[in-house]
Amino acid sequence: MTVLGIESTAHTLSIGISKQGRILSNVIDMYSGGSEGLIPRKLADHHSNVFSSVLLEALTGAKLSMNDIDLIAFSQGPGIGAPLSVGVSAAKYLALVYGKKIIGVNHPYAHVKIGEHCCKMRDPLVLYLSGGNTQILEQMANGHYIVLGETLDIGIGNLFDTFARAIKMENAHGSALAKLAENGNYIPLPYTVKGMNLVFSGLLTSAEKAAKKHSHLDVACSLMENAFAMTCEVTERALFLTKKKSLLVCGGVAQNRRLQEMLKIMCKEDNVKFGVAPDEYNRDNGAMIAYAGELLYKKYGAMKIEKCDPITNYRIDRMKEILR
């Protein structure tokens, strides 16, 4: 089966094509809002403007035409309503015009499955970290996921992006903040863990106040160190609870090298295998949607077109409800 996957949940419009688990192309076009953050209308405009060129590049890279595509998969959520709707509408249009089967994909599920595929891991404990999500996931016997722990307020990526905007960074993004943090020294900031859940808003407020008195380098360093240490603590607790012997970290924030270093140290001490996919597949991308779409199609079949609506709050633990 040859699957075309469309990703449009936030700042990235991406189209990837996979065939029997092999990635044939993965074209990514990311909107950069600079210091203003993610404005939904501007994200939607960006996705609409670049869609045709990204689609053509993806098909050309895979040496295919739309006639060769068997299934169209799309990110159904969670995500920001306006850009998410662009991808969903485009997927429905292509399916109707070319007579293709279609299926919606839960965005976190796609991150998990492409990570397992790249790392050749089976049934690991999953640490999923992105702009809007921070979750510890366990797969059940029926293939669906439960959330063992999560952020109770904001996602870890949102934490970093919001702080970057607060200190008026030109590129207000977690990756730019990580570079700034490399040259900083630690200063005390709040550390809040509630069992296997996390709270980041107090840390953010304190960091914003500290930035008025301390070097931005030092505050950025301390913000990231505390956020990652909190994340490691709840993840280790989940490992002990589940007795899992492998850990997969996935999602946009999983690209952070300092976080990877801390998790690797933890896993080595606990005799746990550590896995993280290449950066291309941890950032938002269409290839993971295509790959996950094929897995879901094999289990559930195609969706009816009238069920292909965006779900902005589509939690991974709602998949059974949505797909049945």
Distance CA 265, CA 318 (A): 33
What is the residue whose two structure tokens read 């207000």? Answer: 172
Return the closest-CA partner of residue 86 out of 14, 169, 191. 14
pLDDT along the chain (324 residues), means of 10: 97 97 97 79 97 98 98 97 98 98 98 98 96 94 95 96 93 90 95 96 98 97 98 98 98 96 98 97 97 97 96 96 88
Q: Name the residue with tokens 């269409």.
A: 286
Whole-angstrom Cα distance, residue 50 to residue 149? 37
- The alpha carbon of 245 is separated from its chain's Cα centroid by a whole number of angstroms, namely 23
Q: From 99, 115, 96, 105, select the one nearest 67 (Cα to Cα).
A: 99
pTM above 0.85, yes or no: yes
Quote the CA–CA distance of 313 and 220 in Å, as a whole number: 30
pLDDT for the residue numbered 113: 98
The structural domains of the chain, ordered by start, are 2-110+281-323 (3.30.420.40), 123-278 (3.30.420.40)
Q: Output DSSP code: residue 245.
A: S
| Residue 34 confidence (pLDDT) | 67
In the prediction, which pLDDT does 267 show? 98
Q: What are phi and psi of 29, to 5 degrees?
A: -130, 110
Cα Rg of the chain (Å, integer): 19
Q: Taking the chain, what is the end-to-end CA distance rounded to the nearest angstrom? A: 22
Query: Residue 82: its pLDDT value, please?
Result: 98
Give the pLDDT of residue 55: 98
Residues sharing a CB contact under 8 Å with residue 157, sequence separation 6 or more, in sequence order? 129, 130, 131, 132, 174, 251, 252, 253
Contacts of 291 (CB under 8 A, 6+ apart): 3, 5, 16, 18, 21, 23, 110, 113, 114, 117
